Amino acid sequence: MTICVFASSSSRIDNQYAAAAESLGKQLAQAKMDVVYGGGGIGLMGTLADAVLANGGRITGVIPSFMKDEGWDHSAVSEMIITSDMGERKKRMFTMADAIVALPGGVGTLEELTEAMTLKQLGLYKGPIIILNTLNFYKSFVDFLEQMVSGHFLRFEHKGIWEIADSVEEVMVLLGKKEGWRQDPRSIARI
């Protein structure tokens, strides 16, 4: 099973976020789950990659060439896929993923997460999407999703597209679930 992880590249955040990223990397490696991520060497991306590597796991980075040229890639990740742009990067990551986990992050992480949710809503991505809500980071986002549902911009059934985990242990339990969301997501895509 390959887990795609979206995460911040910021190094100026609370250490508890880094601790969660490190724990996730360790537990994914110990569970023999492969990881694909954005290829960064700093922030939560770097911490995740370091933990996967330190625990004998397999991790693949996917990074646009301009980021590689800036030196933003993780130098110890042996499998690094270089893409021409951000869109190709996401497409590669989505096609490699059996499941997606979103750690806290900025607008790039949010954009990746919402695109994954859109693809799942349209039946173009089928795996689980798990939001790791460390320190209640995603509370406002989840509240906004609830507002979309209550305002009929999303169906009530669309709440099954994502799952919220408050700890890495919950993420691992959710990754072990076998049931999916829907066999026919397009049947309810139109509101």
Residue-wise DSSP of 69-104: HTT-B-TT-SEEEEESSHHHHHHHHHHH-SEEEE-S
Residue 56 lies in a domain: yes
The number of domains in the chain is: 1
Residue 188 lies in a domain: no
Alpha helices (H) in the chain, listed in sequence order: 15-30, 43-54, 65-69, 86-96, 107-121, 139-150, 168-176
User: What confidence tier does 16 reach under pLDDT thresholds 50, 70, 90?
Assistant: very high
Residue 47 lies in a domain: yes
Residue 160 lies in a domain: yes
Contact, 162 vs 6, CB < 8 A?
no
Tokens 């590689």 belong to residue: 68
Domain that holds residue 41: 2-178
CATH number at residue 159: 3.40.50.450
Whether 179 has a pLDDT exceeding 80, the answer reads no
Residue 184 lies in a domain: no
For the CA atoms of 151, 179, 8, 61, the dihedral, rounded to the nearest 10 degrees, stands at: -140
DSSP annotation of 47 reads H
Mean pLDDT of the region 124-153: 97
Residue 189 lies in a domain: no
- Confidence (pTM): 0.95
Whether 181 has a pLDDT exceeding 80, the answer reads no
